[in-house]
Amino acid sequence: MKKFLVCIAAVFVFAAVSAHAADSAGPMVSVQGPIQQGIDLLRDPQYKDPSKREAQRDKIWEIIRQTFDFVEVSMRALAQDWKNFTPQQRKEFTEVFTDLLKNTYIDKIQSEFQNETIQFLGDEKVSDDKAVVKTKVIRNGKIEIPMDYSMRLKDGQWKVYDVIIEGVSLVKNYRTQFKEILAKDTPAQLITRLKDKVIQQEKDRTTGKKG
């Protein structure tokens, strides 16, 4: 799997070197492979055992880490407030926000995966370095949930910076939350609040409280 990803990365680098980087390794291709790998992982019977959950989680995280650009996600989640964070705070924020997203969503994916299938509907170029990949998550063959990935081309590689589910953008949702918090608290306090939440999540996870 790692080799496969390295090959993809090599393709992207090569594409970046050649003339029109934006067109060669398309956005949909960049996200299709990793998503399919993720689903295969979730379906893999060798991870059915609860003791294997951590291993499965780490593998899924590897895929996500390489497909998402968390710096972009963090920058956009703070928007205008980004400039009020010192470089050190920005780094801290990106790290803790990434952890928060990781804990929240991987747990959710792992525990609520019900053998959904994903239909890739295509991608749409918004500008030279931005595109939206549209997919549909199909549960039990009947329930369809539209899920779009906003992607940005950076250093010759398309990476995801936002996920839009049923019209609700993740980044925008967190943005309004952070905006409201930062209207009253300092950046340092926000970071502390996020850290506390992550610690709480870790605790819940290890005690097996939340599914």
Q: How many CB atoms lie within 10 A of CB 178?
A: 22
Listed residue (160, 157, 156, 105) closest to 132, CA to CA: 160
- The answer to whether residue 118 forms part of the interface with other proteins (CB under 8 A) is no
Determine the size of the site formed for other proteins (CB under 8 A). Answer: 33
- The answer to whether residue 83 forms part of the interface with other proteins (CB under 8 A) is yes
- 110, amino acid identity: Q
User: In 113-155, which ranges are continuous DSSP H helix?
Assistant: none
91's CB contacts (< 8 A; 6+ apart) are: none
Structure tokens at 211: 């599914």
- The answer to whether residue 202 forms part of the interface with other proteins (CB under 8 A) is no
Listed residue (101, 104, 88) closest to 188, CA to CA: 88
- The answer to whether residue 194 forms part of the interface with other proteins (CB under 8 A) is yes
**Which range touches other proteins (CB under 8 A), out of 9-17, 41-49, 60-68, 75-83?**
75-83
Question: Binder to other proteins among 5, 8, 16, 100 (CB under 8 A)?
Answer: 100
Q: Exposure string (b/e) for 82-118, b if CB count within 10 Å is 16 or more? A: eeebeeebbebbbbbbbbbbbbeebbebbeeeeebeb
Question: Binder to other proteins among 166, 207, 208, 209 (CB under 8 A)?
Answer: 166
Question: Binder to other proteins among 168, 206, 208, 209 (CB under 8 A)?
Answer: 168
- The answer to whether residue 119 forms part of the interface with other proteins (CB under 8 A) is no
Question: Binder to other proteins among 82, 110, 121, 125 (CB under 8 A)?
Answer: 82
With both helix axes pointing from N to C terminus, report the angle between 187-207 and 170-182 in degrees, rounded to the nearest 10: 120
CA–CA gap between residue 184 and residue 177 (Å, rounded): 12
**Which range touches other proteins (CB under 8 A), out of 29-37, 43-51, 53-61, 178-186?**
178-186
Q: Which is nearer to other proteins, 11 or 185 (CB)?
A: 185
- The answer to whether residue 79 forms part of the interface with other proteins (CB under 8 A) is yes
CA–CA gap between residue 76 and residue 74 (Å, rounded): 5
- Minimal distance, residue 113 CB to other proteins, in Å: 13
- The answer to whether residue 209 forms part of the interface with other proteins (CB under 8 A) is no
Q: Which residues bind other proteins (CB under 8 A)?
A: 75-76, 79-80, 82-83, 100, 104-105, 108, 112, 127, 130, 142, 166-169, 172-178, 180-181, 193-194, 197, 201, 210-211
